[in-house]
Chains A and B, each alone.
Chain A
């Protein structure tokens, strides 16, 4: 009898703990659904390549583009690192963006609506190249689109 009670108790505890675990399992973050740091860095590389060839981006990125022309890629590396960290953090990844906030980083740059829209288009093209699903693309663009007010016209 005692043995039966013990077995039943053990089974009950197992079932209950199993249920609890199921409830606690969080939904995968946007970061995980995008594919983690490797996928994000691939998208960022494509985004940077798109931006560098975009005629609407020349004014904003001129110092970076001039440096690339001289064989100095330090600015590209800095931009890439910041983008990986920023997108990683914004999508719920373990990254910590440590760059300046968007308003400070873009102060005095007089970024126009056209330039911002071109930049978003370059990101959309990068996401499309890697066939990022519409849901994830929408979520990511929504997060980054929220920063528009801190970037345009500063």
Chain B
């Protein structure tokens, strides 16, 4: 018997559904499950039929909100009805995990286990069986991992450590510039680190964007876009394209690094001039 999956949407933009469609070898994964409901992919039931459905894995995309209409019923009721039956709940995307971007408009929107950084009203009921896959959107490989993995090791936000123990900075192709504290003077170049001026949150954001590449090809920082910290409960912060600084250095430190250690290293790194890192990369002889 194939496990039965329901993919239910709350307050969402549908970005995770579409991200999932990008999975390499999607058809092979789809065949391992019986898809009762998915908003885009082939699935057998309609929303109203879900009330009587057996559901083994419940995937939630989008935030929960009281009174939000889902089909002819109410989202929260349908969600709890299915979640109680399910053996596993996968919260996909930052809206389902923390409430997400739309929480800024309506603070009553919350995630499955978390309401921003705090535990949600469903925490006690669902903590045992819920895996959180934050990201805006979540990467399709991360979603596939959550469907397939049995009892993965989780961090305090119920995120699989295998995916979120890394920072977005790990594997970034601009790492050399970070090591020698050379900033990107502007957008639109291959050179320089985006942590110092352009607002990159990669060094303190949990995620494997530069390890498991997006669309199997790139990541934000690889195309010169700063990381906006979309896997964290405080996404989206303010002034996303500029770095807040404190006494000339970024106000938020790389994950786990004491400010004193960082200052010392910066002082030393900056005292050297590395010609290779101050030229255009492809102009190098």
Do these two chains really belong together in a complex?
no
Contact surface of B with A, Cβ cutoff 8 Å? none
